[in-house]
Structures are given as structure tokens and as C-alpha cells.
């Protein structure tokens, strides 16, 4: 029977049957939509300063999470979309708006770069059913004034990355500090974290400077620092600029002269690779992950390297963890609506090869132990995965800023 004859036969049956048919056809799109793919996005830097610690490697980590989850959730195929925001907030905002409003992307991850992440926050604020998970951006504004009911700040913020190592070095290695931060939205929080760690450890500030993103030749900034004869140099950013600062500090003899380098904006395995252990040796840093922290972490690291050719940075691990945790919440709630999924993500403990019973606080920040470490000398390293000498385990309540200090409007005072 063709469609026209079918309609005619229904019409002969009267109004009641027509109403029933109308209800049936109205329900068809909803039924079809329930089997539509679950679209999640990785919006990140693939061509600028953070392309190694994010970029195609973050995409690979997200894809691994999807594959390990089985490729589907609640009968829906999981579809990954990706884009390069070029470290430009306007570009990132345009892509995110299109993904949310036209392409029906349910959740977006990565968002490398604090300026881009803050722009994304403004987009997500008016789209409460969409989920945003910041796996790389470190500004505490994301779990502070800019926190949202539909967002999660997965990456450690500048407090967790900056206070423990600067405090440790001030207490044990050197008290006169020169602080470098980037001339971006990430600069002030990175600076504030460094100063808090320095002062709490009994240190003092000798000088400071803001370095442009993609500065290229950073010699002048390093020479400014050297002229003040600090005992410790805090670098509050990662990526290419961090690598260039470390190389220049070696070139001008700062580290050979006893200056301790501290990565108070985090140190990524991709940065260590770019520098080489001979250049990176001795850098003190805090991290939520290093490959040899346990057997499962090392096994996953080997899988990741076999796929990408690089040792995973903690940013890549964050991508894998966050996508997996999100998919678990979607599976549990049978929904991709952020008003349902994000509360479930907060209620569920976070468990992976790198964290046991982590939890997402009311201010949207993932809380977990942090590991204080120093980059090994080449003679100490047994493999490409063996770069971190563990100095201390920092418990969550010491690693992260107290919740009582949070400016997140979601936190009840």
C-alpha cells in the first residue's frame, strides 16, 4: 500500500483514527532522536603555543576514552567532533556557538588557554543544557566567579599547580624569587599562586615580568631575571614559551649557577620532550599524574605512546578521564541534558588509573592528590616514561584553595 492510499484508508476510519495517526507520526521524531548519535567535542589549540600539550594528542586521548567505553552509550553511537580555536577567544566562541546551536553537540572538552576558556564560559552560561569541561585551562576564575551549574573544572588550577612547588622550594632550596607569568588572562592568577606559595614558605619576591604568548626570543626576559640574582625562578606557563625560557636560562648559566627553576604553571611531558632531560633536569613542579605513578598508569601511557608517538602529559590524561566520567554519567542518567548529567558527575567519585575517589566540589573543581616532583637527570632515567623524581604527595586539602575562599556563586556560604 502506498502512502497516499494509506492516508485515504485512515481518513475513512474517522476523526478518532486520524488523531491517533497524528499522535503516532508526532512521536516518530522523538523516537528517532533517542537513537541519534551523542555528539561530544574537543575544542582546543592545534596550531599555537599549546598544540603539543593539547591539540591532536588531546583528540587522541578523547578517542581512546570513547573506544574503551565501547563506542556507544544507551544504544547511541558516540560521535567526536574536533576543531582548532587557534588560541583566539573570538574563534573559539564562534565554533562553540555553532556546535551548541546548530550541530547539537552535547558536551565540549579541552578549551586550552584561559582566555578561550573564559569566552567559552560566557557562551555556556546561556545554554544551560550543554556541558562544558575544562581539561586544560588553569585560571581559578573557572571555578570562581565564572563557575556554572553546567561546567566542570577538571584541570588543576594555578593554586594547585603553583602553591605547592613554590612553597616547597622556598622552604628548602632558595628564598629570593623572580616570577614570570604570561601577559594574558592567566597571568594574574598564576602570579597570585606563586606569591602565596613563596610567602607561605618564607621566601621573598626579587622581581617579576609578564611574557607575551608566543614570545619567540625570550632572552631579554631571562636576562632581566638574571640581573637581580634570584635563587629561584618561577615560570607560570607551559608550552613553547616555557621551553624557550628554560633553554635561555641554561644558555645564560642561571641553572648552572644554582638557580632552581619552578614550573608553577604546570610542567607537561611534551615540554620535557621538547627540552630534553639535559635541559629540563632539576625543574620542580606539581602534577596530578606521571607515567610511573603505578602499573596501570604506565600501561595506559604505553598505549597512548603507541598511538601518538609521545609520552602523555597530564593534560592528555585529563581528557581521557573527563570524557570517561561524562559518559558514565550519561549512561547512569540516560540523558545528555547538562542539568541532569553534571549533578550526576558531581555525585559520582572520580576513579581512573591516575586518581582514586577524587570528587568534584560545589565550586565545580575536581579535587585530587597532587604530586610534587623534580625532573630527573638523564643518568637517573631508565626510560622515556621515567622522568619524575617524587618529592612529596600533597593531599587534596593542602593542594587546593580552601572552599571557604571560593567566589563561586554555587557555593553556599
Neighbours of 73 (CB within 10 A): 20
pLDDT interval class at 215 (50, 70, 90): confident
Q: Residue 103: pLDDT band by 50, 70, 90 thresholds? A: very high
Asked if residue 389 and residue 262 are part of one domain, the reply reads: yes
Same domain, 265 and 345: no
Do 356 and 276 share a domain, yes or no? no
pLDDT digit string (tens) for 126-175? Answer: 999 999 999 999 999 999 999 999 999 999 999 999 999 999 999 999 99
- In the predicted model, is pLDDT for residue 283 greater than 70? yes
- Give 110's strand partners: 43, 134
Assigned domain for 107 exists: yes
Q: Distance between CA atoms of 302 and 288, rounded to whole angstroms?
A: 18
The mean pLDDT of 85-96, rounded to a whole number, is 97
- Shared domain for 132 and 115, answered yes or no, is yes
pLDDT value at position 369?
97
pLDDT of residue 32: 37
Residues 250 and 337 in one domain: no
101 and 53 assigned to the same domain = yes
pLDDT confidence of residue 6:
36
Mean pLDDT confidence for 71-87? 97
User: Is the same domain home to 81 and 198?
Assistant: no
Give the number of domains in the chain. Answer: 2
* Domain-embedded: residue 408: no
pLDDT at 213: 84
pLDDT, residue 34, reads: 63
Contact present, 228 and 178 (Cβ < 8 Å): yes
Residue 55 lies in a domain: yes
Query: Which pLDDT score is estimated for 9?
Result: 45
The pLDDT > 70 percentage for the chain reads 92
Q: And the C-alpha cell for 81? A: 567532533
Q: Check which CATH number belongs to the domain holding 207 and give it.
A: 3.40.50.2300
Region of 319 on the Ramachandran plot (φ > 0 left; ψ -120 to 50 alpha; else beta): alpha
The answer to whether residue 339 is domain-embedded is yes
Maximum Cα–Cα distance across the chain: 96
- Under the banding of pLDDT at 50, 70 and 90, the label for residue 392 is very high
> Do 70 and 199 lie in a common domain?
no
Band (350; pLDDT cuts 50, 70, 90): very high
Per-residue model confidence as pLDDT tens digits over 11-35: 444 433 333 333 333 333 333 346 8
pTM of the predicted protein model? 0.88
Can you give the residue range of the structural domain that contains 85? 38-156+294-367
Same domain, 239 and 387: yes
Instruction: Please tell me whether residues 277 and 210 are part of one structural domain.
Output: yes
Same domain, 108 and 143: yes
Question: Is 299 domain-assigned?
Answer: yes
Shared-domain flag, residues 78 and 204: no
Amino acid at each position: 500500500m502506498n502512502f497516499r492510499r494509506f492516508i485515504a484508508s485512515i481518513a475513512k476510519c474517522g476523526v478518532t483514527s486520524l488523531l491517533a495517526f497524528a499522535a503516532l507520526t508526532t512521536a516518530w521524531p522523538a523516537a528517532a532522536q533517542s537513537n541519534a548519535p551523542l555528539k561530544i567535542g574537543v575544542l582546543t589549540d592545534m596550531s599555537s603555543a599549546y598544540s603539543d600539550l593539547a591539540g591532536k594528542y588531546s583528540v587522541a586521548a578523547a578517542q581512546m576514552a570513547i573506544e574503551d567505553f565501547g563506542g556507544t552509550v544507551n544504544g547511541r553511537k558516540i560521535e567526536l567532533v574536533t576543531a582548532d580555536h587557534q588560541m583566539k577567544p573570538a574563534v573559539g566562541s564562534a565554533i562553540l556557538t555553532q556546535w551548541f546551536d546548530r550541530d547539537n553537540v552535547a558536551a565540549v572538552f579541552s578549551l586550552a588557554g584561559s582566555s578561550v576558556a573564559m569566552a567559552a564560559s560566557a557562551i555556556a552560561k546561556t545554554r544551560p543544557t550543554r556541558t562544558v569541561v575544562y581539561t586544560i585551562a588553569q585560571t581559578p576564575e573557572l571555578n570562581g566567579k565564572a563557575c556554572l551549574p553546567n561546567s566542570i573544572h577538571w584541570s588543576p588550577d594555578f593554586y594547585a599547580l603553583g602553591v605547592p612547588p613554590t612553597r616547597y622550594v622556598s622552604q628548602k632550596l632558595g628564598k629570593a624569587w623572580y616570577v614570570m607569568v604570561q601577559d594574558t588572562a592567566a597571568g594574574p592568577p598564576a602570579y597570585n599562586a606563586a606569591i602565596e606559595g613563596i610567602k607561605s614558605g618564607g621566601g621573598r619576591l626579587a622581581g617579576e615580568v609578564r611574557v607575551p604568548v608566543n614570545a619567540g626570543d625570550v632572552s631579554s626576559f631571562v636576562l632581566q631575571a638574571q640581573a637581580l640574582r634570584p635563587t629561584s625562578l618561577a615560570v607560570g606557563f607551559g608550552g613553547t614559551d616555557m621551553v624557550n625560557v628554560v633553554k635561555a636560562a641554561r644558555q645564560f648559566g642561571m641553572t648552572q649557577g644554582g638557580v632552581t627553576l619552578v614550573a608553577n604553571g604546570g610542567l607537561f611531558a611534551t615540554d620535557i620532550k621538547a627540552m630534553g632531560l639535559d635541559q629540563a633536569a632539576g625543574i620542580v613542579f606539581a602534577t596530578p599524574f606521571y607515567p610511573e605513578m603505578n602499573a596501570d598508569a604506565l600501561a595506559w601511557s604505553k598505549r597512548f605512546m603507541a598511538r601518538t608517538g609521545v609520552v602523555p602529559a597530564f593534560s592528555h590524561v585529563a581528557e581521557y578521564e573527563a570524557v570517561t566520567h561524562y559518559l558514565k554519567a550519561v549512561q547512569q542518567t540516560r540523558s545528555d541534558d547538562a542539568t541532569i548529567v553534571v549533578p550526576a558527575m558531581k555525585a559520582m567519585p572520580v576513579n581512573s588509573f591516575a586518581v582514586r575517589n577524587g570528587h568534584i566540589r560545589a565550586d565545580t573543581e575536581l579535587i585530587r592528590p597532587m604530586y610534587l616532583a623534580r625532573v630527573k637527570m638523564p643518568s637517573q632515567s631508565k626510560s622515556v616514561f621515567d622522568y619524575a623524581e617524587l618529592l612529596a604527595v600533597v593531599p587534596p586539602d593542602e593542594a587546593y584553595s580552601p572552599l571557604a575562599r571560593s567566589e563561586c556563586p554555587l557555593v553556599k556560604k
